[in-house]
Each structure stands twice: as structure tokens, then as C-alpha cells.
Amino acid sequence: MKSTEQPRFTISPFLVFVFIQAMQFGSEYLSMSTKPIQWAGQDTWISVLLCGGCFHIAIWMIYRILNHNGMDLPGIHHQFFGRWAGGVLNFIFIVYFLLIASYELRFFIEIIQVWLFPELTTWPLALVMLLLVYYIVAGGFRVIVGICLFSLIRYITIFALLFPAVFFHYGNLSPVFDHSLNVLVQAGKSLTFPFGGVEALFFCYTFIEAPQKSEKWAYWANALTTVSYLLIILFTLLLFKPEQLPKEIWPQLTKYKFIQFPFIERFEYIGAASQILWVIPILCFCLWAPSRICKLMFGMKQLTALPFLFVLIFTAVCLIPGHESIEAVQKMLSEIGFYLIFAYLPFLFIVSVIRMKVRRVA
């Protein structure tokens, strides 16, 4: 089946791999290892695999829903639930994406404020980032995926993990399976927020050239994210004792303190500034998707909706003051994301399956 957009604006199925892993692997990975390791200690890697498996299933469900109906989520809402209820659900998604964008941006600005420039106020950086994102989004979906491809450069920082190798204590990984399944599931639950991002598939489905073919690439993207998170958790376990972690806010940035090249020592500058590679793709998509929903729901042009969303995100970012509020926002988003993937998605799937059966019978 072909996509419903003009071929000039579509992306090839392989780029879905790049896109989905850019959406999933956001900058929340910096602080993701503290809570699961509190719960599950040295068996956290099992929770990571568990979570990755759940998201595999989630992607499967998403593709079944999308393939059966051949359109993206706003259209599905419209069809399934009628105009008003569908509109409300679409609006919830708009708010959700705007919240994620504000959170990611504020998180990034906080990192810059703590690690690089303590005297930097929030709003100039937010303004510049949003202008940059506006320029990218105004170029269309293809440009956004191009930026995701460019941000793959961030995997070079994996080499940074080699430097603390002399400090690894392999004994931290054993004994294996020392924790109960309950605890592992708890740890897995706190990992759902970093894994989230697959709901982006709902909105870009019509922009893929041959949507059915892109399914396997989405699985590969999830696998890559799982492997990356596994590596991160592994190295955190090897490097830190579980008791050290509650005191570290961003353990992954701390690992940059170990790097010593012959000519560069304080690698944290580069590490903290390079977080922009994690943040920009998500910001771009989270600004593009609501404008697209607005276009489909209200019929306005995306370019006119963008400035409004821009202002909304800017005010939201400036209103979040300090570290505690950011953590509160993260908790809230984590809950919303969890229910989105594990409650709303199966519900949608069941409704879709019932409609298919009803249509076949009728």
C-alpha cells in the first residue's frame, strides 16, 4: 500500500529506523539509571530487556492498528470515536507533545546551566533553540528526519565509555538473579519513560513510502535503543556502587569526568554541550506533530499554527523554575506515558480488532 502523501515529502522505510530511535533515545537517559538500580541492583539489565520486549509488542500493536486502517492517528480517532470524542483525544495528544517538548527543552537548559554556564538565564537559550527548531520544522518532515540522521553522530560518545574501563569493578554484576520478579517489574516500570517515543509512529505513518515495509525497521530501532540502554545500565553498574547513585543526578554525564585525552581534560564541556544532539530531534517532532494535528482537525495551515505552539512552549519552559519542578514534571510525564503505552494502546488495539471483525462479518 502506498502512503497518502505526495512522494516528494515521504521518507524511505529505512529512515523509520533512524527516526524511531531518535525519538526514543532522548536526553532522559542521563538520569535514568538511578531509580531502577535502587530497586533491582545488579539485575537491572533484566528489567531493561523486559521493558524492551514490552515495547516490541507495543510497536507490533501500533502497526496492526495503522495497517488495518491505513491512516494516521487523528484520522483513526475520527473514525473510531466520532468527531467530538476524537477531537478531544487529539487535543490531549497536542497537550502531551507540547509537554514533552517543554520538558526536554527545560531539562537540556538545566544541564547547560549546571554544567557549563551557571549564570545563563533560561529564556535566551530557550528562544534560540526554539528558533532553530522552527527553521527545521518549516522545512518539512523530510528535514526533521534528516536532522535525526545527522544526530546519529552522538553514538561516537560511546567511545567515551572506554575511558573509565580501568575503574570497572566486574564484581558488581554478580550475583545474578538475586532479586524477585516483583522488584524487577518495578524497575521496569521506571524505565518506560526513557523507552517512550514509539507513539511518534502514529503521526508519521502517512509520510512513509511503503508503510508495511517499515515495520521491521521499527523493530530494529527498538532493538538498538534497548542495546544502548543496556550498555548504559551495564556501565553504570560497573562503575558505581548502588549507594553512590542516589547522590548523582546525572550519572551519565559524570562518566565524562573520567576522560583524559592528551590535549583535552575536562570532557564535560563537550559532553554537556553535545546533549543538544539528543534534544533537537525530539523538539522538532514535538513541534511538528501538534501543528499537523491542528491542520487535520481545524484545517489551518501548519505554518500559522507553529508560532502559537512556539509561544506556548516558550512560556511553559520559562515557567518551570528549578530542579525540583523539573523532576515533578518528569514524574507526571512518566505516568502519562506509562498509561498511554500500557493502557490506551491495548484499548485502541482491541477496538480496532473488533471493528475489523465486525466489518468482515457485515
| Interface contacts to another protein, rule CB under 8 A | 11-12, 14-15, 18, 112, 114-117, 119-121, 124-125, 127-129, 131-132, 134-136, 138-139, 142-143, 146-147, 149-150, 167, 169, 171-175, 178, 240-241, 243-244, 247, 254, 257-258, 260-270, 272-274, 276-277, 280
Of the CA atoms within 13 Å of residue 245, those in its CB half-sphere come to 24
> Is 2 or 169 the residue whose CB approaches another protein more closely?
169
Shortest reach from residue 264's CB to another protein, in Å = 6
Quote the CA–CA distance of 126 and 61 in Å, as a whole number: 36
Nearer to another protein, 71 or 143 (CB): 143
Angle at 26 between CA 24 and CA 30, to 5 degrees: 130
Q: What whole-number distance in Å separates Cα of residue 41 and Cα of residue 360?
A: 50
Upstream peptide bond of 7 is cis (omega within 30 degrees of 0) = no
Cα 29 from Cα 230, distance rounded (Å)? 11
Dihedrals phi, psi of 11, to nearest 5 degrees:
-115, 155
Task: Give the residue with the Cβ less far from another protein, 258 or 342.
Answer: 258
Q: Closest distance between another protein and the C-beta of residue 315, in Å? A: 15
- In degrees and rounded to multiples of 5, residue 208 shows phi and psi of -95, 140
Q: Give min distance, CB of 165 to another protein, in A.
A: 13
Q: 127, 89, 85, 84: which is closest to 109 by C-alpha? A: 127
Measured from the CB atom, is 178 or 335 closer to another protein? 178
What is the Cα–Cα distance from 124 to 38, expressed in whole angstroms? 37
Between 129 and 348, CB nearer to another protein: 129
**3-class secondary structure, 11:** strand
- Least distance CB 157 / another protein (angstroms): 13
**Shortest Å distance, C-beta 218 to another protein:** 16
> From the CB of residue 360, how many other CB atoms can be counted at a distance below 10 Å?
7
Beta bridge partners of 208: 11
Using CA atoms, how far apart are residues 83 and 79, in angstroms rounded to an integer? Answer: 8
Question: CA quadruple 61, 64, 69, 70: dihedral positive or negative?
Answer: positive
Q: Which is nearer to another protein, 53 or 139 (CB)?
A: 139
On the CB side of 317, CA atoms within 13 Å amount to 29
Please, what is the minimum distance in Å from the beta carbon of residue 166 to another protein? 8
Pair 238, 218: CB distance under 8 Å: no
CB of 356 to another protein, least distance (A): 34
Compute the least distance from the CB of residue 362 to another protein, in Å.
42
Helix (H, G, I), strand (E, B) or coil at 208: strand
Residue type, 126: A
Nearer to another protein, 5 or 268 (CB): 268
Instruction: Pick between residue 85 and residue 152 the one whose CB is nearest to another protein.
Output: 152
Q: Which is closer to another protein, CB of 158 or CB of 264? A: 264
The least CB distance from residue 355 to another protein, in Å, is: 35
In the numeric block, the cell 497537550 is attached to 95
287: cell is 513541534
